[in-house]
């Protein structure tokens, strides 16, 4: 019986260490967030993509999904090369995201931009979201 209690106590301690030690900086969270968005984009999981978007201009989910579908058809799968120049101010942030995609016979690299050369992000519902529209 004491082995069982020891094992349960050890599991509880390890779980507490893992949970307590897994806090990401806002910059790390934004980098993971952007990579997760593009993983959903590559999988054509529009519901998951929409969960990453804050529709600040009320464009509407069907319009955004239509735009994402057309973009995905044009680009094919994309690879996030880098997420740089992350700037966080309270519940808003910007980040330059450089991707490559195979569009036809060539691979292109470019940052996707909004007004000032970066994605605009907002912290909403406990997570970062892309402010739409971002182009």
The neighbouring-strand residues paired with 120 are 94
Question: What CATH superfamily is the domain 27-131?
Answer: NTF2-like; domain 1 (3.10.450.100)
**pLDDT tens sequence across 78-130:** 888 888 889 999 999 989 888 887 765 444 444 444 444 468 889 988 889 99
How confident is the prediction for the chain on average, in pLDDT?
77
The neighbouring-strand residues paired with 88 are 93
Q: Structure pTM?
A: 0.73
Rounded Cα–Cα distance for residues 99 and 58 (Å)? 27
Residue pair 134/114 in contact by the 8 Å Cβ criterion: yes
Report domain extents, the chain. Answer: 27-131
Rounded Cα–Cα distance for residues 57 and 1 (Å)? 61
Rounded Cα–Cα distance for residues 49 and 33 (Å)? 11
The neighbouring-strand residues paired with 98 are 82, 111
């Amino acid at each position: 019986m004491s082995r069982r209690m020891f094992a349960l106590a050890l599991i509880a301690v390890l779980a507490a260490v893992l949970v307590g030690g897994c806090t990401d900086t806002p910059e790390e969270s934004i980098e993971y967030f952007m990579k997760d968005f593009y993983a959903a984009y590559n999988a054509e999981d529009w519901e998951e993509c929409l969960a990453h978007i804050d529709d600040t201009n009320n464009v509407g989910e069907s319009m955004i999904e239509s735009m994402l579908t057309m973009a995905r058809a044009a680009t094919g799968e994309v690879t996030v090369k880098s997420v740089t120049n992350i700037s966080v101010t309270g519940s808003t942030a910007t980040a330059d995201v450089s991707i490559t995609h195979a569009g036809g016979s060539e691979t292109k690299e470019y940052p996707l931009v909004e007004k000032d050369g970066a994605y605009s992000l907002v912290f909403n519902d406990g997570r970062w979201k892309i402010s739409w529209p971002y182009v």
